[in-house]
Structures are given as structure tokens and as C-alpha cells.
Structure 1
Amino acid sequence: MKSIKLIMALLAGLLLTSLTVSAQDANFYIYLCLGQSNMEGNARYEAQDTLVSPRFQVLSAVDNKELGRVKGKWYPARAPLCRQRTGLTPVDYFGRTMIENLPENVRVGVVHVAVGGCKIELFQKDKRGEYIKTAPQWMLGMLKEYDNDPYARLVEMAKIAQKDGVIKGILLHQGESNTGEEEWPAKVKDVYDNLLADLNLKAEEVPLLAGEVVNADHGGTCAAMNPIIATLPQVIKNCAVVSSKGLSCAADHLHFDAAGYRVLGRRYAAAMLKMMGKELPTTEEVIKNTVEASSNMHGCDFPRLDKENRAYFRIFSPDVKRLQVDICGKKYDMDKDEQGWWTVKTDPLVVGFHYYFLLVDGFSVIDPMSCTYFGCSRMASGIEVPEGKEGDYYRPQNVPHGQVRTCTYYAESQQRFRRCVVYTPAEYEKNTKKRYPVLYLQHGMGEDETGWSTQGYMYNILDNQIAEGKCVPMIVVMESGDVEVGFRPRPGKNVNDERNLYGSSFATLMIN
């Protein structure tokens, strides 16, 4: 009877082991994230930071009523990742960049435990107790959420995560509170070694990435710590340091701003991917796998477009602190490398013409790499995302071509000279006595009389339609309509009356 019970117990154990192994997804990569305020997230997150692929998950280390999260459960990794009332962290864009550059069957999960203002001693098993006795009053509430033992909470959550995936790395951002301490790398190694031991991990399979604090090039308050952080790979073999050079920061010069966190997170991902043997595409590889936008200035390689209609921008501007691309109101933070080149890849864009601007330290300007167009009530850059063959109707074909002319005339109703743009069909010069129908073609608000010919390719459309017999030869007149500037009622005036006046000169111009 005893032998039968023993056999049954062994079979049950094997079955349980089998179920555990089968539940673990080898393509679910887990990363442990720890540190102080810059890892916790000090910048206010924006709407774009709350949109995330379901392939990027966070295991909530605390209950978070703000987002309806329960400790120990997986959720889409939208900001904030740490706790209630925390902000954007490097981890937000670490995860996004990882899934962009890993196979589609791979998911990324993060376990995130951080305490603003803490020293590395808070994560040392034998130093935690003494350190907490000296912790400032404002830190006590944060510590309480981790039951006064953030390290133990990190290990607890990591063991839950290990049931679902495989721990692939550890991300650290800490050091401000230990600035100047030469022994800091040894303390970090102590934390790293304990994590490896407590989670049964192998150092050669689980690298540690440590980020620099705000750099001296942005007046970093604790920048003196960066040379010490740089020595960490001398103490931990499977380790890399992530540069903060060129990253923008908050007014306190202690924390990064949102743009800085986004770029820093992508740098963490680039370092991790490199340690996995997969580097982010070089400029040469991007050029090889993309095409120039047709709207580029002559001789400019960028912007470029890939097969999924993502746009790639690359600009050299070493002295700028923050650079963004604003496409139809969606802002993309550009990454700055240590040579001063800024790059970004957008989401897939819908086909057609898009106005865009560069935001240089918050100031909106046109891109010198792009042709310029009048739109959005000002001169703007533009990028043409091409259609497939179905877009041949607006492309030049081997057919007779008309002309687009700029004409100046005197408007009696306004007592001033005005400009209009006129299309004449290919046969116009040959049939001087023929009368043609006239189409008065009006642009949209915020554009001007050049829009339909420059952005809209109306001359190609008419040439092709006339050649195919789909429309008769005609003259097309394009005037401004006095709606170049968006509707803005004058202060103290009735809005409806103002709206009736807006663009009202157009009818008089057309009739008289």
C-alpha cells in the first residue's frame, strides 16, 4: 500500500511539473525593473503614453485603484506602471521598442518596483532594515505599499511572473541618492547577485542594464555619479550602461522630462537588443529598406517611407534639447544619438498628403528636408504617402499636358490686387477662338489658392481625365476665398455674425 501511495505521489508530482512547464510561455520575455524616482516615473504622462500594444504587459506590484489593477495580475502596460500618482518611466518606451523589434509571437512583460528618493541600500537584503529606520517621513507611505520591503515584493512578483514567462533581464535606474559613493557598484552587485540566487537565474542569461542620471550636458544635479555608474560593467560582467547624453530634463535637473524618458527607454531597449544579438536598424539599413518621400527637397534622403507607410525622419541638430515631429497633431519624440543626429519612426500613415512640422524645443518650424506648402494657415512641411496603382489618376501620365499659371488681377470690390491660379488644358493655345467651360475650384480652410495645384495635383487629374474622355477640356480657376486663416471671431462680436462674414468676400469676387 505504501509503495502504491508513493507511486501515486510521484505521478501527481510529475503531472504538476508538466502543467507548470506547459503554462510557461518561452516567448513571454520578463524584465525586472527597480530603482528610485527616475525609474518610478517623475514626468506627467500624456495621452500617447496610455496607448499600448497588448503584447506589452505589466505585472502590478501593488493594488492600483486609479487604473483598477490588482497586485499580482497582468495588465496592458500603459502609464503609470509603478503606483498611483507616479508618471512616465523609461520602462514605458523600453517595452514599446522591444516589441517593435522582436518577432510578433514574442510578448514583453515587466515587473516594476521603485521608490523615489531611496538609496540602493533599500534593495540590499541585509541593509534594508537599518535604512528604513532613517527613511524620511515622505517615503514611509511608499514603503508601506511594499510592506516595507520593496526587494521582497520584487522577488514575490518575479516568482509569479516566472510561472508565465522567462526572466530575460534586469533594468536599474538609481544612483542620485548615492552620488559620489565609490562603493555603489559593489552594492548594486549585491542586489543583482541576490536576485539571481532568489530566483534561480543564471548571470550569463540575465543581463543588468543601468541608466545614467541626468547628464552634465543638461546641468544634471547628480551628473558626478555618471563616472561611477560607468564602472559597473567592471564589477558585473553581464552588464551595460545606458547613456543619458543629450537627454532633456525637468527644471530641477534631477529628473528627466517626458521626452527624456521616452528616448532613455528606447536606449535601454537598444542596449538589451544588442545583448541579445539584435541591433536596431542602422541608417544604411533604413535607407536600403525604405524609399524617399516624393515631397522631399531635391537631394534629401529623408523623410523616407517603408512598405507599411511608416515615415522615417533623420535630422542633424546637436545643440537642440528636444525635437519632435508633429504630423496632423500627433507628436513623435525623436531620439538623439551621441553625435547629434535625431531620428524617429512613425506609426503607419494613411495614404495621401500630410502636413507636418518640427517642434524644436517646443517651437514649431518647417523641416528643411521637405518642400513647403501653404496649409494649417501657414507655410508647412509636407509628406506624400503614395497610393498603389489605384493612385495613377493623380500621377503624370504620357498624355498631353495643360498648364498652370499664376495670374494677378485687380479686384474692384476690394480695391486691391489679388492672385489666382489658373489651369488651361493642353489644347488651349491651339484653339484660340474656342470657348471653354470654367470650373472655380475652392480649397479648404487654412489653405490658399496654390493648394489644389501644389498639394492636390489637380493638373495631373485633369490631364488624365481629359485624355481618357472622362471630362471635357476646361479652364480651372483657383482663388483664395479669404479663408487662409482659420475662423477666429473678433473679441466682443457675435460669433454667428462673425461666421457669416468669414469668407463672405468670395461670392462677391466670383460674381463681380
Structure 2
Amino acid sequence: MKKIFFIVLVITGLLFTSLSVFAQDANFHIYLCLGQSNMEGNAPYEAQDTIVNPRFQVLSAVDNKELGRVKGKWYPARAPLCRQNTGLTPADYFGRTMVENLPENIRIGVVHVAVGGCKIELFMKDKREEYIKTAPDWMLNTLKEYDNNPYARLVEMAKIAQKEGVIKGILLHQGESNTGEKDWPEKVKSVYENLLADLNLKAEEVPLLAGEVVNADHEGTCAAMNPIIDTLPQVIKNSVVISSKGLSCAADHLHFDAAGYRVLGRRYAVAMLKMMGIELPTTKEVLNNTVAAPSNMHGCDFPRLDKDNRAYFRIFSPDVKRMQVDICGKKYEMSKDEQGWWTAKTEPLVVGFHYYFLLVDGFSVIDPMSTTYFGCSRMTSGIEVPEGKEGDYYRPQQVPHGQIRTCTYYAETQQRFRRCVVYTPADYDKNKKKRYPVLYLQHGMGEDETGWSTQGYMYNILDNQIAEGKCEPMIVVMESGDIEVGFRPRPGKDVNEERNLYGSSFATLMINDLIPYIDETFRTYTDREHRAMAGLSWGGKQTFDITLTNLDKFAYIGGFSGAIFGVDVKTAFNGVFTDAKAFNKKVHYLFLGCGTEENMGTEALVKSLRGMGINVDYYVSQGTAHEWLTWRRCLNEFIPHLFK
């Protein structure tokens, strides 16, 4: 009896061990990928194709010294997926699109076996040996990597994959080498049915997705094969054909180019998601469930934002090969449909203002549906992700509104005409005898004198505060600061010295040309008690450089994320901080602000100044970085303290 009990325990233990070793993760979805050169990957991959979500994995079907992969092991699915010296494939962006549109707990894995130039017979059990006898010499080395049996290698790897996940579908791209063969669908059926049998899969649970070859609309050499491929669902019930319409191709018109592969891969994923009951939203649904960005050109529906602050872009450009949206350096691939419409959806964006560009076949352009702004040293598109009610301070309200004036003046120190933007409060033209204090407000590197009025909405901030009695009516002057073009040190020069020279020409111009022009042109108070200066980023550095060496002209100073680095407060600006009592008497208000998500050294500077006995007000914008929302908030905090 004891012996029988022991045997039962052993069997039970082995059973649980077996279940543990071969336990499948139902949330690890596996897809088998097979075919010839377009599945193998003919287009060179780019840097972006090597960055991949770790939820997308590839089971290496061969050893790959290039990437340090070992046959039968899982790796992040960066290109190349197939073998060493292959390129981008539809599987690359199939997997990426799947993980983008499935819950975070779902992983995607691909098992990838493909041989360039092969006929479908290479994957047929009863035709393989006969076909290999006729294989061209250039194919032989590839076949050796699969032990002359790519089908068997695919099954071998699939069985390894089944120990960890569940096979959910089969992706095929093949047909160029069988062009014109009307029995091709039947041959594919035999391969499909053999895979189902060898892997113990059910046809109703594992669909076959087959892509068309390069389309006739791009003069595809084998485009005549597409009508045959399109009949596949008549032969294999649980199959779908992926259109190649509109997809760009290589010069040989046999292979897709990288852009074509990316879009084709997304089309495979869209079809698979649809079969899973997940349909990507139509344009109508996007319109119904999103709102137009407030930064759009009047009458333009896109870009749009959903409740999670994801942005949706839509552009019609049928002849373009590749299009991306570049938001502050983060690039999103756009997908083209059969009609030539390109679309993209971003990750959730933080509230505030974001510069962006469209990358059209690698060339950076502005979006014709966005308001344009000067930033990044050029005209750019911008998208405003709105705050809630807390952002009303920079939105227009039912209050008296001032004016933004563009003024041209001649600068003697530079012997040329210049432009400045001037805000005058609502009552400026009503009371011709009233004089006003002046705030000189500077932008940051790569922006110009329009930045504060377009990106910063300073006129709304002033209008609203003046109407509520929070701040004094004032004139605000904005100039370019000679920093429209980003910092570029001259070759062979000391970088630190060059940095100190960057924008330094503005100091002389402001003191000798700009302030006299403003005082002569507008009804200003001309004494230091009624003059302030503030700036963001590099404009903050300019503010310190100008005001702290001209305290006979300024009594109020502000720095918003100021680029004020490496300042020794004991020696800087001719030791102006060493006599705290004198400084605090002259400077009626010193303000420094920054965002929690940036590191401009503002907090350290504040601590140093306070350690010297300097009165400085410190503001931190919660949840914002080096961006316009930080600076709007800083301005809103700064101006109530001026000219009191």
C-alpha cells in the first residue's frame, strides 16, 4: 500500500513539474511569419527600427552574431528579425502596432522564417526536396542556415514558443516567385493545414494573414499576382488578404521600401486586431470622440485631442513615401490608407504648448492645419494641450483688452532697423495724459519677439490681471534679443567664452537704443522705479546680465527657468550681491521660477542668494518642464508684485 502511495506521489509530482515547465502564458500572443524576400526584409532598417517596446519579442530562428542572438531564445524584436544582413519586414511594425493597441499585460512574439526568392514549394512537405534540387546557387547558403528545411525550422521554433505563449496567427508574404500560378492558393492551403496539424492548432483560432505584392499603382513587377492572392479567402476560410495599395516600393518594383514595410506591417496588425474584435477608430469616430486642438488654424479639424490628451493627426498626401509627426523630438510614424490619408495617434501629452513638425520623406515641414509659431530657430507648428479651469488666467475673458503693436525702430548701435512687439493696456488710448511703467520681457533661445504674445499669451494674462486689479496697468516690451538662431560656437573658439558672447549684443542695444525708443514713443515713466525686466531661459540670463549691471535703470527683476549657470554669488556681476542691504533697497522685487520637471539650477541659485541675505521670491510650477506653460505661470506669479 505504501509503495502504491509513493508511486502516486511521484506521478503527481511529475505531472505538476510538467505543467510548470510547459505552462503557457495566455497573454503572450505568438505569430508565425513566413515567406520570401519581402517577409525576409529587403529594405535597410534605420535607427528608429532598433528601438522597440520590450513587450514585442522575437524568437530567433537562427544564430545571429550581428545582434548576439542564439537560436531558440527570445529577444526584444528590434530589426533585423529574420537573419543577419536582412532588413525591415512587415513583422516589425505588425508587432509594434499590436502592442500599441492591446492592453499592457499582453505581449507579442514572432517566430520568423523566410527565404528570399523562394517559391511556396519550399514550405511544402511533399515538394521541398524536389524544389531544393533546382534552387539557385545564391539561395543555398540561406537554406543551410535552416538545415535545408525552413518549414521544419519554423515548426521547431513554434513548438519552443508554445511552451511560453499561445500561437494566435500566421503571417505570410509570398507569391512573387509563383506569379501567375492560379493554384498558388491551394499550395498555401497545404502549408497552412500542415502547420495546424504539426502544432496541434485549430483553424478557427489561428487565422492566416497574407499580404499582396507590390501593387500596380507603383508599377509592381509581379502585380499580376495580386488577383490570385486575393482569392485566398475562397480557399482558406479563416484567412484575410492585406492590401498593398498605395505602398511605396524600391527601385526594382519587386520589394517595398522601408516606408512601405512600416505601413504594410500596420495593415497586417489592423486586420488581426479586427479579427480579435478590436477595430481602430474610423475618422468619423475620432471626430466624434475628440476635440480640435485650440492651436489649429481656424476651420481645421485636425490635430485633435482625446480625453487622455492623446493627439490625432490626419494629412492627405498620396504621393509621399513616409510621414512622421515629430513632437519635441519624439517621433510618431504615420500610417497611410488606400486613399492617401496619413494618420497617427500619440501617447498622452502633458498639458501645455508643444512645438511639432511633420517629417515628410525625411524633410521637416510645418503642418498646414496648425497655427505657426517662431521656435526652434524657425517657423514651427504647435499644439496646445489645454488645462482645465486653472488655465483660464491665460485665456481671453470678457474684460477690456489691450493691444499688441508691432513697432519698427532704427538701432544706431547696430546701424540697422529692428522690430519689437509692444503691449499697451486697455486704457492706454483712452487717457492721453496717463503714463505707464514698463516691463521688458524676453523670450528664450531659438525664439523671437513674437514668442510671448503667440506662445505665451502674455496679453491675456495682463488683460485678466489688470481687470481684476491684481496687477498695475503697464506697457510690456518684447524684442528678439539676438538669440533667434540657437547657440553655435565658432570653430576653434573656447565654448564657454562663446557662450558668454551669445546674445550679449542685446545689452548694448537695449540700453542705448530700445529703452530710449520706447520712452520717446510711448507715455512711459522713465525712472528706474517704474522699469522692470524679466526673461525665460536664455532671456533669463540676459535679464541678469543687463539689470544687475544697470541697477540705475531697473528696480524689478525676474528669471523664468533662467539659464543662469555656475554663478558665484560672491563675485558675480561685480559683487552686486555682497552688500545685501544695499541690493535689497535697490531691487524692490527679485523673482526666480522654474518647473518641477526641469533642472536649470534655479533652486540652488535661490539658496545661494538667500544665504547671502538677498530677498528673492521663489516659485515652482508643478508638473511642468522647460516649456511655455512653466513660463506663463511664472509671468502670472511675477506681475502682481511690480510697481506697487
Moved more, 380-389 or 234-243: 380-389
Distance of 1:184 and 1:38 partners within structure 2: 17
Distance of 1:483 and 1:15 partners within structure 2: 70
Structure showing greater Rg: 2
2:172: which partner in 1? 172
Q: CA deviation at 1:14?
A: 4.5
Q: CA deviation at 1:471?
A: 4.5
SS of 1:205 mapped into structure 2: coil
Equivalent residue letter for 2:217: D
| 1:447-486 equivalence runs, <5 A | 447-466=447-466, 471-486=471-486
Moved more, 435-444 or 240-249: 435-444
Residues 259 and 333, structure 1, Cα contact 8 Å, conserved in 2: no
Distance of 1:466 and 1:40 partners within structure 2: 66
The change in CA–CA distance for 1:184 and 1:440 in structure 2 (over 3 A counts) is: same
1:439: which partner in 2? 439
Distance of 2:489 and 2:16 partners within structure 1: 74
Q: Which has the higher contact order (CA 8 A, sep 6+)?
A: 1
The change in CA–CA distance for 1:471 and 1:43 in structure 2 (over 3 A counts) is: farther
1:285: which partner in 2? 285
2:274 counterpart of 1:274: yes
1:246: which partner in 2? 246
- Measured against aligned partners, the alpha-carbon deviations of 1:409-459 in whole angstroms (never above 9, x if no partner) come to 233334443321111234434554444332222222332211110111112
Residues 98 and 269, structure 2, Cα contact 8 Å, conserved in 1: yes
1:57: which partner in 2? 57
Distance of 1:176 and 1:276 partners within structure 2: 29
Q: CA deviation at 1:329?
A: 3.6
Distance of 1:401 and 1:168 partners within structure 2: 62
Q: Which sections of structure 1, spanning at least 5 residues, go unmatched?
A: none
Q: Taking every aligned residue pair, what percent have the same amino acid on both sides? A: 86
| 1:350-389 equivalence runs, <5 A | 350-389=350-389
2:24: which partner in 1? 24
Moved more, 57-66 or 286-295: 57-66
Distance of 1:376 and 1:9 partners within structure 2: 70
1:394: which partner in 2? 394
Equivalent residue letter for 2:284: E
Distance of 2:218 and 2:271 partners within structure 1: 22
Give TM-score, length-normalised by structure 2: 0.73
Q: CA deviation at 1:304?
A: 0.7
Distance of 2:253 and 2:498 partners within structure 1: 47
2:84 counterpart of 1:99: no
Equivalent residue letter for 2:162: Q
1:345: which partner in 2? 345
Q: CA deviation at 1:503?
A: 4.0
Q: CA deviation at 1:388?
A: 4.1
- Measured against aligned partners, the alpha-carbon deviations of 1:54-91 in whole angstroms (never above 9, x if no partner) come to 32222222223333332222222222222222222111
1:294: which partner in 2? 294
The change in CA–CA distance for 1:433 and 1:227 in structure 2 (over 3 A counts) is: same
1:309: which partner in 2? 309
Distance of 2:352 and 2:145 partners within structure 1: 50
Equivalent residue letter for 1:230: D
1:193: which partner in 2? 193
Q: CA deviation at 1:197?
A: 0.8
Distance of 2:144 and 2:256 partners within structure 1: 26
Equivalent residue letter for 2:131: Y
Distance of 1:49 and 1:347 partners within structure 2: 18
The change in CA–CA distance for 1:498 and 1:17 in structure 2 (over 3 A counts) is: closer
The change in CA–CA distance for 1:229 and 1:103 in structure 2 (over 3 A counts) is: same
SS of 2:476 mapped into structure 1: strand
Equivalent residue letter for 2:221: T
SS of 1:473 mapped into structure 2: coil
Distance of 2:47 and 2:263 partners within structure 1: 17
The change in CA–CA distance for 1:3 and 1:415 in structure 2 (over 3 A counts) is: closer
Equivalent residue letter for 1:147: D
Q: CA deviation at 1:11?
A: 4.0
Distance of 1:232 and 1:397 partners within structure 2: 62
Equivalent residue letter for 2:31: Y
Moved more, 291-300 or 219-228: 219-228
Distance of 1:217 and 1:429 partners within structure 2: 63
1:235: which partner in 2? 235
Q: CA deviation at 1:390?
A: 4.2
Residues 218 and 246, structure 2, Cα contact 8 Å, conserved in 1: yes
Q: CA deviation at 1:18?
A: 4.3
Q: CA deviation at 1:232?
A: 1.4
Residues 260 and 321, structure 2, Cα contact 8 Å, conserved in 1: no
- Measured against aligned partners, the alpha-carbon deviations of 1:84-109 in whole angstroms (never above 9, x if no partner) come to 22222111111121122223332221
Q: CA deviation at 1:227?
A: 1.7
Moved more, 115-124 or 408-417: 408-417
Distance of 1:168 and 1:275 partners within structure 2: 11
- Measured against aligned partners, the alpha-carbon deviations of 1:231-286 in whole angstroms (never above 9, x if no partner) come to 21122111111011111222222222222111111100111122222211111221
2:90: which partner in 1? 90
2:629: which partner in 1? none
Give TM-score, length-normalised by structure 1: 0.91
Distance of 1:16 and 1:309 partners within structure 2: 47
Distance of 1:341 and 1:470 partners within structure 2: 49
**How many matched pairs?**
510
Q: CA deviation at 1:466?
A: 4.6
- Measured against aligned partners, the alpha-carbon deviations of 1:483-506 in whole angstroms (never above 9, x if no partner) come to 33345578x886869777754542
Equivalent residue letter for 2:138: W
Equivalent residue letter for 1:220: G
Residues 325 and 357, structure 2, Cα contact 8 Å, conserved in 1: yes
Moved more, 358-367 or 58-67: 358-367
Residues 246 and 321, structure 1, Cα contact 8 Å, conserved in 2: no
Distance of 2:146 and 2:465 partners within structure 1: 70
Please report the RMSD computed on the Cα atoms of aligned residues, expressed in angstroms.
2.8
Distance of 2:56 and 2:156 partners within structure 1: 20
Equivalent residue letter for 1:141: N
Equivalent residue letter for 1:186: E
Equivalent residue letter for 1:216: A
Moved more, 373-382 or 281-290: 373-382
Equivalent residue letter for 1:335: S
Q: Which sections of structure 2, spanning at least 5 residues, go unmatched?
A: 513-644
SS of 2:108 mapped into structure 1: strand
Moved more, 293-302 or 271-280: 271-280
The change in CA–CA distance for 1:475 and 1:341 in structure 2 (over 3 A counts) is: same
Equivalent residue letter for 2:65: K
The change in CA–CA distance for 1:13 and 1:329 in structure 2 (over 3 A counts) is: closer
Moved more, 166-175 or 220-229: 220-229
The change in CA–CA distance for 1:403 and 1:128 in structure 2 (over 3 A counts) is: same
Distance of 2:97 and 2:202 partners within structure 1: 25
2:412: which partner in 1? 412
The change in CA–CA distance for 1:117 and 1:445 in structure 2 (over 3 A counts) is: same
Moved more, 234-243 or 212-221: 212-221
Equivalent residue letter for 1:405: R
Residues 259 and 321, structure 2, Cα contact 8 Å, conserved in 1: no
Q: CA deviation at 1:373?
A: 1.6
